[in-house]
Amino acid sequence: MKKRFSKLLILSMTTVLTISMASANAFAEDDASEVSATYACEASIPNASDYGIPELNSDIVAGLKSMGDQFNANYQYVDAAKSTYIQFYGSPVQQFEYDGNPHGLTAGVYATIGNAKVAEANIFYIGQLSDGTYYASSSAPTEPGVYYVAASYQGTEEYYPIIAYGIIYIKEAEVTPPTPPTPP
């Protein structure tokens, strides 16, 4: 028995993570014990300019796309019971004023069917600081700059891997000139 289905992952609208299903054919026996689908998944990086944040160097974007492509290349079959989604705690696009403290994002990984929490997402930051140097770490950044955030789940035999993206912008603190003394 051949069935057609399409699957929609509900992600936060602002992650701007696009998943396109090139073909989704489900082949199931009458008892529906085996369901698999071939698919092509393409993740698009959020456009920083939509948020008034300066564009990052194309090498940073290429690095995140490469990470997404690696996930996509390794997992070409989908079993709906193993699918997952990433939910950021708060907005996946955040702006902070520099205060010397680390600013990061956190996210959880959930089963698409049943919405049970599977794990905390691994978070990795790639960015360009305001002085032109680059930052790549799993530690939340502290310095002013623009950072792309990759929230990922490596996957297990029970659940498929997934990746979602966010943006952090730490802007320079506004310096207020001292008030001149009042003449006597």
Give the mean pLDDT of 50-69.
56
Spatial distance between the Cα atoms of 170 and 93, rounded to a whole number of angstroms: 11
pLDDT at 126 over 90: yes
Residue 2 has pLDDT above 60, yes or no: no
> DSSP letters along 55-107, please?
PPPHHHHHHHHHHHHHHHHH--EE-GGG-EEEEESS-SEEEEE--SS-----E
Q: Are 149 and 135 in contact (CB under 8 A)?
A: no
Among 13-27, 43-57, 143-157, 164-178, which is the least confidently predicted range? 13-27
| pLDDT above 70 (res 28) | no
Question: What's at 41, amino acid-wise?
Answer: C
Of the candidates 5, 31, 10, 7, the one whose C-alpha atom is nearest the C-alpha of residue 20 is: 7
Higher per-residue confidence, 40 vs 24: 40
Query: For residue 50, is pLDDT > 70?
Result: no
Q: Quick one: pLDDT at residue 131?
A: 82
pTM: 0.56
Q: What angle do CA 158, 153, 48 make, to 5 degrees?
A: 150
